[in-house]
Chains A and B, each alone.
Chain A
């Protein structure tokens, strides 16, 4: 582009260091600043009940245009450092996609500011801008240009794109004849060729067949390992746990949680479970209770790390009130090592609240359950919420772990305690059952191999 990298532009503010023209233009990241800074972002949409777009409607509705303002985002602030991988999770309509659009500059914020530092690429839809009448080859160049790639850059990676998408035999065919899967693959192959400093991805990894999903997942992983910054909107909570370090949980346009991905995912799962009582927007991170200690006790009330199948287990949670609390609820979830959500319960679901507690008071809650699980490793997460489940006051993502010893006669995930008998017809007793352990699901095994 003709600028010399050594040419600097003086910032008029006193005391700020000089930045190169490339950095000012957002072409090169400035390592001294965070990659993304969002400050007090607010975005609202005006939902017209019948959108007036013509003269007649305008005149007719001059006085009584009917609309409601819908706040997609309210007062959202965060900063993302270079190399961080951030997942944005939340219910549909919680503002995830709007947030990404603000960061990608597709929408301007109504209030607040967004600053990005480095080249930004957004992957909000695959194959956006493909033209059905153009051939695959022509669309690669057109779509590449839409994503900001130069012709030379596409020339250089052309073969890579074609092979990744597997469309070599269809290169000179109009893309309207492509299958929808092929269409998306080509879109993804072009999109990942963009080599940005900051990548924004919206739910696009959920498309395509299993094999393609694995490959795109791999691609994202290598992007992360290359130290690039990315933000990912996804409903695939397991994928998110593998790919990201940090999670931002959005709830009705507000940041409900911002922190380690495991905690964020655990919190979001609890919110899904508690969806029966609709969550009100949280005003801030309230921490009224601290989880002092969590332990797992066996039958003899001694701490255990491994239990026999179908053994009774007690989860003991010690709480410490930081503020006066009228009543609170302790919840726990049990999940498999790969994150599959197995069980969840809250004391309020059994009509039990803990409290009232004064500042400094302690309480110990025992939750007894039966580990009807097959052999494997399991994790327990504990949270403390108000009795309606709207506010989370404390959460501990991996509060305890335990293993279950192999049981004879079953395979899979849970112990349904099957007993076989022949009610009609002959039967014979075989020798001692060989006692097969649980067979891991193929997907679980693949994940373990990869990890």
Chain B
């Protein structure tokens, strides 16, 4: 046979080859953008197709959750934040986006066995379609809830919109990485989908969504449980929620006054450490999740 060897054989190993592999992978993903758009449309359409309220559910869920949590954490157990509903929304919207993205993505390869076994396409579009569908839900929910936030938190909400959007963008990267990781690992390790509920329950309470981070520091500082604060700071989602909340709700700080332990300001700019921390986590999760996913993706067709 006179055929020359395929182009990627005989290349010097090392950076050149790696760079070419990355380029061709990204080029391929770019060519699959139409598929990604169609899958996102499918997610949005199919989800509420046979329900009476349809798309409204994506906005109603955070409203109902906010009502429930507000009753519990202002009237029954008091969390000393002024304006708890706005405080809760400004963390919960982001959390909901993250959790729903991963929840959809974890089944995306296993649940599409037919497609994976019979058609070639870059497999990462399956988990990514869930992330982007949830991103659209988030943006719509934000749009619906923004009048309330404007009313309680002032025009700063609009003024610091870029901060909010930056937080959403960074969390999208982070969620994409995690979604790919969950989707890829679940193929060989199906227990993950059972563990998922527990993992996310713990993760939710380990993220300052229903309570402010400043409250934890002021309550546990120097005590036996100070390590809990360390844990919260290590938790990557803390960084995104904090960043999001600064732009949408405003910074919450400890006063040191026992009668009124917390004070909050109007929406403002985040400090660079928060922004940098969130960005670092976003890039790290994306790279890690994508690499794990791609290594697994080669044999998906055999394993699903």
Contacts and interface: CB of A to CB of B under 8 A. Distances in A.
A113 interface: yes
Interface residues of A, number: 46
- Mostly helix, strand, loop or mixed at chain A's interface? loop
A136 to B, nearest CB: 14
Contact of B120 (A105, A125, A133): A105
A106 B119 contact: yes
Nearest to A120: B120
B3 interface: yes
Interface stretch (A138-146, A332-340, A398-406, A432-440): A138-146
Interface string A92-129: 00000000010011111000011100001010110011
B31 A1 contact: yes
A145 B37 CA distance: 9
A33 B37 CA distance: 34
Contact of B190 (A12, A34, A53): A53
A134 B42 contact: yes
A147 B302 contact: no
A381 to B, nearest CB: 28
B36 to A, nearest CB: 8
B35 A25 contact: no
Interface in A27-46: 33-34, 37, 45
A183 to B, nearest CB: 13
Contacts of A13: 10-11
Size bin of chain B's contact surface: 35 or more
A131 interface: yes
A25 B31 CA distance: 10
Given A13-B11, A145-B34, A151-B34, A128 B118 contact: yes
Contact of B114 (A105, A125, A150): A125
Given A53-B190, A133-B49, A124 B12 contact: no
B46 A128 contact: no
A133 B114 contact: no
A79 B1 contact: yes
Contacts of B37: 145, 151
Contacts of A34: 3
A24 interface: yes
A149 B119 CA distance: 13
B38 A53 contact: no
A77 interface: yes
A142 B115 CA distance: 12
Interface in B108-129: 112, 114-121
A27 to B, nearest CB: 8
Contacts of B24: 25
Contact of B191 (A55, A78, A113, A149): A55
B4 A12 contact: no
B6 A146 contact: no
Contacts of B64: none
A108 B298 CA distance: 6
A72 to B, nearest CB: 10
B50 interface: yes
A54 interface: yes
B16 to A, nearest CB: 7
B170 to A, nearest CB: 27
Contacts of A105: 120
A131 B46 CA distance: 9
B118 A125 contact: yes
A431 B134 CA distance: 87
Q: Of A34, A45, A115, which is in contact with the most chain B CB atoms at under 10 Å from its CB?
A: A115
B45 interface: yes
A387 B31 CA distance: 55
A148 B29 CA distance: 11
Contacts of A146: 35, 38, 115, 119, 121
Given A131-B42, A146-B115, A115 B121 contact: no
A11 interface: yes
B7 A24 contact: yes
A128 B34 contact: no
Contacts of B120: 104-106, 120, 122
B198 to A, nearest CB: 13
Contacts of B27: 25
A180 to B, nearest CB: 15
Contact of A33 (B4, B10, B39, B302): B4
B188 interface: yes
Contacts of A113: 5-6, 9
A150 B34 contact: yes
A37 B3 contact: yes
Contacts of A53: 188-191
Nearest to A151: B34
A147 B189 CA distance: 29
Contact of A145 (B6, B30, B38, B112): B38
Nearest to A11: B7
Contacts of A148: 31-32, 35, 121
The 7 closest A-B pairs by CB, nearest first: A115-B6, A145-B38, A125-B118, A145-B35, A128-B118, A37-B3, A124-B118
Interface of A: 1, 11-13, 16, 19, 24-25, 33-34, 37, 45, 53-55, 77-79, 101, 104-108, 113-115, 120, 122, 124-125, 128-129, 131, 133-134, 138, 141-142, 145-151
5 contacts: A13-B10, A53-B190, A104-B120, A107-B299, A131-B46
Given A106-B118, A151-B34, 12 more contacts: A16-B4, A19-B7, A33-B4, A34-B3, A45-B302, A53-B188, A79-B3, A106-B116, A128-B114, A131-B46, A142-B41, A145-B38
